[in-house]
């Protein structure tokens, strides 16, 4: 199974570069604690999944398409990959212009989108055809800016139209609540309303949460975007690297079957333990019970960071269903009891479908045992509620609407997008 | 704005650009507003007539006032002479924003407006730095216009700059970074004579250059925010830009572009000066002698300015009564959506 990654905008491209580096580092890791044949199976499956020319171990090409409205970031990511010298981006798999989208969703969706459609689809087709078996598409983008959000939403729609049977997963990044871009809430509402229609699953990461992980658990004094991107890439790697369930290899189909069984509930959140800085790596060991208990607590407290919450306060986060990916010794036989409390799942989900377990005995990224929880639950509701609230406040004052109108996005479009989001928030709040 | 060519031909060219290149949306104008003691007698007429064009045809206007520039240059020269005389901390050579970095070596004769023009040149350099150099948070002109202009006519962005100069002895500059953030919101560092702290912010951009961490910027925004008044629907109305290359002669710098209601005082001032002349019909015949100029142009322009001022005033009054302007959110009824 192969995954084609489409990196859109500054955020998407930066995360993509980190993701491929993380995966390649995992592939070439020495301490894996499995037999060499098991290791070979894993590494060749992983190479096949993310890179081309798996026979050439020395310089594989990422299965990626890079899209941006200005060239600086794409060029920089390519040269960073080349400097690392372990893998590279395919020549010609890039699309960029010189104009930028000016943080304007309408500019990205209604103007750049149609212009870029032919070329980007051609690049995607090239990657898709180079796959023996296409597992699906992974789109990386932010919600705040103009290119990632607007052009990203448009490309997702194009993929849905042209690859009707392919699985499409979007990894989106929500900006800091107190602002990076003034119109970020508009852009978020507009993007999510489209993705909810066109994508199969949307994994929502928040800069604020990633920042907390870096600042508290990883002890970075000055948290920069590169640290946060690295955390997110680490989580995505833990999700997408080869794993098995019930004796057979896991695919994106399995993921969607496990998590997105109802079309009204497509938004996912990701949590990963253990969270240790590189310096403490060799000193930390965890048992499965302790890891799972921590995950369960983080999940209930809606916290991506494994810190800063009270153990005494009871809380109940309602989930539709969850996926647990465990990597390390005895991961296939671990006891998922902490996460299987029937009361924390919705009543209409049969008990056998509430929690799925994927596992692999090999160490991931130097961690003896690690666990990832990909959750379809009410965690996303509070973020969306906040965003819709602020966006609606701006909308009722008619602020910035002329900027969107000049590219063809009218008030009706806004109202429709708000309606979709309100429905999503309502659905999740009433789980 | 005060002269004839700049205000007249300049705004004509602006209109021409709007008509000939409609797809190029961003027309940024740096407009120099005349001071009260301007030597051009008819500057109030020229300014009000041009103001109307700017309001209609420009995307964003960065107003600059000669008086404010003069005060900044005076402040810098006081710091220079003070440093020299008392043998205390002198200014680092070439670090003042009024310096012409090109000619720090030779002593060529300085023309009268050189220092003030250099300040404005540095303003433009800082504004375009992200487009020319690398940084972790790039801003281009499109983004500035998009984020700072919520309503098409309210596009006056008040510039403030800090620091004005660097002192030579680095050790005696405690908390420079935080001071820089404080300064850029103070009255003395604005390039027009206005106090944004007294007015209401619609939005604000902070363009940082040099070795500054994102966490420092966020920390300072957090710190200063409570002392500033923002419109209720944009209480986090900050746009940040970080460019890694500092300006010549300084380790870092900060440019703030504020869409603030205090600009209405500048316009009100112009209207007063306009009326002083207009009520006597002074110098009007010179304008009327030109083909195509009607008395109605004067009437309309001053009315435009007055209504513009009242738009800003209306926004300010909204600040004290936010509830009236907000519509309740859409509610989901069982089965279908309904607008409440």
Q: Please compute the mean of the pLDDT values over residues B133-161 and round it to a whole number.
A: 88
Subunit contact A397:B138, Cβ cutoff 8 A: no
Residue A402 touches chain B, beta carbons under 8 Å: yes
B152 contacts on A by Cβ (under 8 Å)? 402
Cβ-count burial A305-316 (b if 16+ within 10 Å, e if not): bbeeeeeeeeee
Q: Please compute the mean of the pLDDT values over residues B118-140 and round it to a whole number.
A: 86
Predicted local confidence at residue A205, as pLDDT:
96
Indicate whether A358 pLDDT > 50.
yes
Q: What is the pLDDT of residues A198-242, one digit of tens each?
A: 999 999 999 989 999 998 887 787 888 889 999 999 999 999 999
A183 contacts on B by Cβ (under 8 Å)? 146-147
Helix (H, G, I), strand (E, B) or coil at B203: strand
Indicate whether B168 pLDDT > 60.
no
Indicate whether A134 pLDDT > 80.
yes
Pick among B27, B130, B142 to test the A interface (most A CBs inside 10 A): B142
Residue A132 touches chain B, beta carbons under 8 Å: no
Interface of A with B in 136-175 (CB under 8 A): 146
More confident site: B220 or A190 = A190
Subunit contact A179:B329, Cβ cutoff 8 A: no
Confidence category of residue B338, pLDDT binned at 50, 70, 90: very low
Pick among A74, A97, A146, A179 to test the B interface (most B CBs inside 10 A): A179
Q: What is the pLDDT of residues A272-287, one digit of tens each?
A: 999 887 777 766 678 8
Subunit contact B213:A222, Cβ cutoff 8 A: yes
Q: Which long-range contacts (CB under 8 A, 24 or more apart) does B319-325 make?
A: B319/B200, B319/B229, B319/B231, B319/B232, B322/B232, B322/B233, B325/A396, B325/A397, B325/B233
A79 contacts on B by Cβ (under 8 Å)? none
> Are β-strands A134-142 and A2-8 bridged in parallel, bridged antiparallel, or unpaired?
parallel
- Give Cβ neighbours of residue B26 (< 8 Å, ≥ 6 apart): B59, B60, B141, B142, B145
Residue found under tokens 């700059």: B161
Predicted local confidence at residue A314, as pLDDT:
58
B330 vs chain A: nearest CA distance in angstroms? 7
Q: Please compute the mean of the pLDDT values over residues A54-80 and round it to a whole number.
A: 85
Backbone angles phi, psi at B87, to 5 degrees: 60, 25
DSSP for A326-349 reads EEETTGGG---GGG--GGGB-TTS
Predicted local confidence at residue A142, as pLDDT:
94
Residues of chain B with pLDDT > 70, as a percent, come to 86
Query: Under a CB-based contact definition with an 8 Å cutoff, are residues B260 and B200 in contact?
Result: yes
Residues of chain A with pLDDT > 90, as a percent, come to 63
B30 vs chain A: nearest CA distance in angstroms? 20
Predicted local confidence at residue B102, as pLDDT:
58
Confidence category of residue A62, pLDDT binned at 50, 70, 90: very high
Chain A residue at shortest CA distance from B24: A99
B236 contacts on A by Cβ (under 8 Å)? 177-179, 182, 390
Residue found under tokens 């078996």: A133
Range scoring the smallest mean pLDDT among A310-324, A405-419, B53-67: A310-324
Q: Please compute the mean of the pLDDT values over residues B173-191 and round it to a whole number.
A: 84
A388 contacts on B by Cβ (under 8 Å)? 329
Residues of chain B with pLDDT > 90, as a percent, come to 36
- Of A108, A20, A17, give the one whose Cα is nearest residue A70: A108
Confidence category of residue A57, pLDDT binned at 50, 70, 90: low
Interface of A with B in 54-93 (CB under 8 A): 70, 72, 76
Q: Beta partners for A5?
A: A64, A138
Q: Please compute the mean of the pLDDT values over residues A366-374 and round it to a whole number.
A: 91
Indicate whether A333 pLDDT > 70.
yes
Question: How many contacts, defined by CB atoms under 8 Å, are there between A and B?
Answer: 109
When CB atoms are compared, the residue of B148, B325, B330 closest to A422 is B330
Q: Please compute the mean of the pLDDT values over residues A340-351 and round it to a whole number.
A: 87
Confidence category of residue B80, pLDDT binned at 50, 70, 90: confident
Indicate whether B104 pLDDT > 50.
no
* Helix axes of A379-396 and A411-429: crossing angle, nearest 10 degrees: 150
Subunit contact A394:B234, Cβ cutoff 8 A: yes
Range scoring the smallest mean pLDDT among A240-244, B1-5, B181-185: B1-5
More confident site: A307 or A126 = A126
Chain A residue at shortest CA distance from B202: A399
More confident site: A313 or B261 = B261
A14 vs chain B: nearest CA distance in angstroms? 11
CA dihedral B65, B71, B77, B80 (to 10 degrees): -110
- Compute chain A's Rg from CA coordinates: 21
Predicted local confidence at residue B84, as pLDDT:
46
Q: What is the pLDDT of residues A412-427, one digit of tens each?
A: 999 999 999 999 999 9
Helix (H, G, I), strand (E, B) or coil at A359: strand
A319 vs chain B: nearest CA distance in angstroms? 21
A400 contacts on B by Cβ (under 8 Å)? 146, 149-150
Indicate whether A184 pLDDT > 90.
yes
B186 vs chain A: nearest CA distance in angstroms? 23
Indicate whether B97 pLDDT > 70.
yes
A8 vs chain B: nearest CA distance in angstroms? 16
Subunit contact B140:A100, Cβ cutoff 8 A: yes
Q: Please compute the mean of the pLDDT values over residues B188-208 and round it to a whole number.
A: 92
Indicate whether B105 pLDDT > 90.
no
Q: Please compute the mean of the pLDDT values over residues A286-305 and round it to a whole number.
A: 88
Confidence category of residue A392, pLDDT binned at 50, 70, 90: very high
More confident site: A285 or B60 = B60
Q: What is the pLDDT of residues B224-274, one digit of tens each?
A: 989 999 988 888 888 888 888 988 888 889 999 999 999 999 999 999 999
A422 contacts on B by Cβ (under 8 Å)? 329-332, 337
Predicted local confidence at residue B106, as pLDDT:
45
- Give Cβ neighbours of residue B333 (< 8 Å, ≥ 6 apart): none
Subunit contact B143:A225, Cβ cutoff 8 A: no
Predicted local confidence at residue B207, as pLDDT:
93
Cα end-to-end distance, chain B, whole Å: 49
A9, two tokens? 């905008």
Residue B245: exposure state from Cβ atoms within 10 A (0-12, 13-18, ≥19): middle
Predicted local confidence at residue B171, as pLDDT:
45
CB atoms within 10 A of CB A36: 8
More confident site: A263 or B321 = A263
Predicted local confidence at residue B90, as pLDDT:
61
Confidence category of residue B172, pLDDT binned at 50, 70, 90: very low
Residue A225 touches chain B, beta carbons under 8 Å: yes
Residue A389 touches chain B, beta carbons under 8 Å: yes
């Amino acid at each position: 199974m192969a995954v084609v990654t489409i990196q859109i905008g500054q955020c998407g491209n930066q995360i993509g570069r980190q993701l491929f580096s993380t995966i390649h580092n995992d592939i070439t890791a020495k301490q894996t604690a499995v037999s060499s044949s098991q290791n070979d199976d894993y590494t060749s499956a992983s190479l096949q999944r993310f890179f081309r020319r798996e026979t050439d171990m020395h310089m594989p090409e990422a299965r990626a398409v890079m899209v941006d409205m200005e060239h600086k970031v794409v060029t920089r990511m390519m040269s960073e990959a080349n400097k690392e010298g372990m893998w590279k981006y395919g020549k010609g798999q890039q699309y960029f212009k010189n104009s930028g989208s000016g943080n304007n969703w309408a500019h990205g969706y209604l103007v750049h989108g149609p212009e870029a459609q032919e070329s980007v689809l051609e690049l995607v087709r090239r990657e898709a055809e180079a796959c023996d078996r296409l597992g699906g598409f992974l789109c990386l983008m932010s919600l705040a800016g103009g290119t990632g959000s607007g052009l990203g939403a448009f490309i997702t729609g194009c993929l849905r139209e042209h690859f009707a049977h392919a699985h499409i997963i979007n990894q989106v990044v929500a900006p800091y609540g107190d602002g990076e871009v003034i119109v970020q809430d508009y852009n978020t509402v507009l993007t999510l309303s489209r993705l909810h229609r066109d994508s199969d699953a949307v994994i929502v990461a928040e800069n604020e949460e990633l920042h907390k992980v870096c600042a508290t658990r990883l002890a970075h004094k000055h948290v920069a975007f590169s640290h946060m991107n690295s955390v997110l890439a680490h989580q995505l790697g833990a999700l997408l690297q080869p794993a098995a369930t019930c004796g057979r290899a896991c695919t994106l189909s399995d993921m969607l079957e496990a998590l997105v069984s109802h079309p009204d509930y497509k938004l996912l959140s990701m949590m990963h333990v253990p969270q240790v800085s590189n310096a403490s790596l060799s000193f930390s060991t965890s048992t499965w019970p302790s890891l799972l208990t921590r995950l369960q607590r983080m999940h209930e407290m809606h916290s991506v960071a494994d810190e800063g919450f009270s153990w005494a306060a009871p809380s109940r986060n309602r989930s539709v269903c969850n996926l647990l990916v465990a990597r390390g010794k005895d991961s296939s036989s671990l006891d998922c009891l902490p996460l299987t409390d029937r009361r924390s799942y919705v009543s209409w989900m049969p008990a056998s479908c509430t929690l799925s377990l994927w596992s692999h005995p090999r160490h991931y990224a130097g961690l003896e045992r690690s666990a990832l929880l990909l959750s379809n639950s009410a965690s996303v509701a509070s973020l969306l509620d906040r965003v819709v609230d602020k966006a609606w406040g701006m909308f009722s004052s008619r602020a910035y609407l002329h900027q969107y109108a000049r590219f063809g996005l009218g008030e009706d479009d806004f109202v429709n997008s708000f309606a979709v989001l309100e429905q999503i928030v309502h659905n999740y709040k009433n789980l | 704005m005060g002269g004839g060519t700049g205000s007249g031909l300049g705004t004509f060219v602006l209109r021409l650009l709007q008509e000939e290149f409609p797809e190029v949306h961003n027309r940024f104008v740096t407009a120099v507003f005349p001071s009260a003691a301007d030597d051009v007698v008819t500057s109030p007429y020229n300014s009000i007539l041009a103001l109307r064009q700017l309001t209609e045809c420009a995307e964003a206007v960065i107003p600059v006032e000669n008086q404010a520039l003069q005060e900044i240059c005076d402040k810098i020269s006081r710091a220079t002479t003070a440093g020299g005389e008392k043998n205390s901390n002198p200014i680092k050579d070439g670090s003042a924003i009024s310096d012409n970095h090109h000619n720090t070596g030779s002593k060529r004769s300085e023309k009268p407006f050189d220092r003030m023009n250099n300040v404005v040149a540095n303003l433009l350099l800082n504004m375009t730095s992200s487009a020319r150099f690398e940084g972790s948070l790039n801003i281009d002109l499109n983004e500035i216009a998009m984020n700072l202009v919520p309503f098409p006519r309210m596009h006056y962005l008040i510039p403030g700059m800090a620091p004005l100069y660097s002192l030579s002895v680095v050790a005696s500059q405690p908390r420079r970074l935080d001071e820089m953030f404080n300064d850029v919101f103070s009255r003395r560092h604005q390039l027009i004579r206005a106090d944004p702290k007294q007015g209401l912010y619609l939005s604000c951009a902070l363009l940082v250059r040099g070795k500054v961490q994102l966490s420092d910027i966020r920390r300072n925004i957090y710190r200063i925010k409570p002392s500033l008044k923002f419109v209720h629907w944009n209480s986090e109305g900050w746009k940040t830009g970080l460019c890694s290359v500092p300006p010549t002669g300084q380790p870092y710098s900060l440019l703030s572009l504020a869409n603030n209601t205090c600009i209405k005082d500048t316009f009100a001032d112009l209207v007063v000066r306009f009326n002083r002349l207009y009520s006597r019909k002074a110098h009007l015949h010179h304008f009327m002698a030109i083909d195509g100029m009607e008395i109605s142009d004067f009437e309309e322009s001053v009315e435009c300015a007055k209504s513009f001022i009242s738009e800003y005033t209306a926004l300010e009054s909204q600040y004290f009564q936010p509830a009236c302007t907000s519509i309740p959110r859409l509610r989901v009824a069982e089965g279908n959506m309904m607008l409440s």
